[in-house]
Amino acid sequence: MEDNNIKKGLFFGIIAGFLIGLQPIVIVSRPAVIDPYIFATMTFVIVSIIFFPLVLIERRNIRKNYQNGQLTSEDFHSLLHGWKTNIRFLIYLGVVFGCGRIFFFLGFQLAGAINGSLVQKLRIILAFLFGYLILSERITKKQILFSIILLFGIFLAITQGTLNLMEFNIEILWGVLILFTIGIFWTIAHIQTKPMIDKKEATPISIVFSRSIIGALILMSTYFLFFPLENVKIFYDPINIYYFLAIGVIQGLGLLCWYKTISYIEFSKATIIVAPTPIITALFAYFFLGELFTIYHLIGTLIIIVSITMIVREKHDMEL
């Protein structure tokens, strides 16, 4: 049974990693007429549509488990109605992830698919840092060491080995800074979500759906405050519709596969499985976007993968 779960976890983990690696390609290759605001809006709309039936299935299973005596009355009511006591927090998540997604797309647009994908790996360091500051989680010297090495790998890859930032492409630098800043806000939001899950007031699936539907409503209702009404014509072009569907489906299925992965195997192992996503992004970016994949990108990516593996392994050993 355990071997079967590992196989299933590996299967879904590989798919999740592939979809995560594919996201930057869709983001960067979209038509210029699709601004980050409407792209983020439609992403959340489609993710909400994908996760709505999953929420219904999950709620049905919660009722079934309660009827079979597998859930206490307290847990049953908490899982079904816990969102009511956390509605303000869920709106906060909708704002953070909704507005953040706009800048996320903008950051990739400026930094490029490969550099943007590499910067995303900084979030593992941010997770440990804010876990320590907010949740008082332990950090070992080995984790600090490999976090520094990971930073070096990202810096090496993005700067292409140059130490003179004055010679660095200012547009890429802005993109990197935007993605890093968004990573900070999202990491804090993820950590703040953990107590809600621990208290069984929500599940990962219900949280993804809630933040997506709230984010979609906020962005849809405010879009034309910043953009002209004539932008409605964006929806008349089949190519634009294709990109809306592509990013929504890729992100939605990627999230689904990720949660399926961690339902079968440990979180630490799942993190290692998806660590090579920059390689997937680099291959697609090279062949379809014409982005250069240099020796510095390769060395930096290898350093990042090894560092993540060592950091996560250390965390796993601490929990045993």
- Rounded distance between C-alpha atoms, residue 34 and residue 2, angstroms: 46
Residue keyed to tokens 């990108």: 297
> Does the pLDDT at position 166 exceed 70?
no
Q: Which of 18-32, 231-245, 305-319 is the least confident region? A: 305-319
Q: Which of 62-71, 111-120, 129-138 is the least confident region? A: 129-138
In a domain, 29, yes or no: no
In a domain, 236, yes or no: yes
In a domain, 263, yes or no: yes
Q: What is the pLDDT of residue 161?
A: 80
Share of the chain above pLDDT 70, in %: 95
In a domain, 296, yes or no: yes
Alpha helices per DSSP H over the chain:
2-29, 36-67, 73-85, 87-111, 113-119, 123-135, 141-159, 170-198, 204-226, 238-264, 267-273, 277-284, 295-319
In a domain, 27, yes or no: no
> Does the pLDDT at position 318 exceed 60?
no
Segment 250-283, tens digit of pLDDT = 999 998 888 888 778 877 677 788 888 888 999 9
In a domain, 28, yes or no: no
Q: pTM (2 decimals)?
A: 0.88
In a domain, 292, yes or no: yes
Task: Take residue 133 and report the two structure tokens written for it.
Answer: 């500051």
Share of the chain above pLDDT 90, in %: 49
> Does the pLDDT at position 150 exceed 70?
yes
Q: What is the pLDDT of residue 83?
A: 85
Q: Report the number of distinct structural domains present in the chain.
A: 1
Segment 183-236, tens digit of pLDDT = 999 989 888 888 888 888 888 899 899 999 999 999 999 999 999 999 999 999
Distances (CA, A) of 6 to 11, 18, 20, 87, 150: 8, 18, 20, 36, 27
> Does the pLDDT at position 51 exceed 90?
yes
In a domain, 16, yes or no: yes
Question: Domain range for residue 183?
Answer: 2-22+34-319
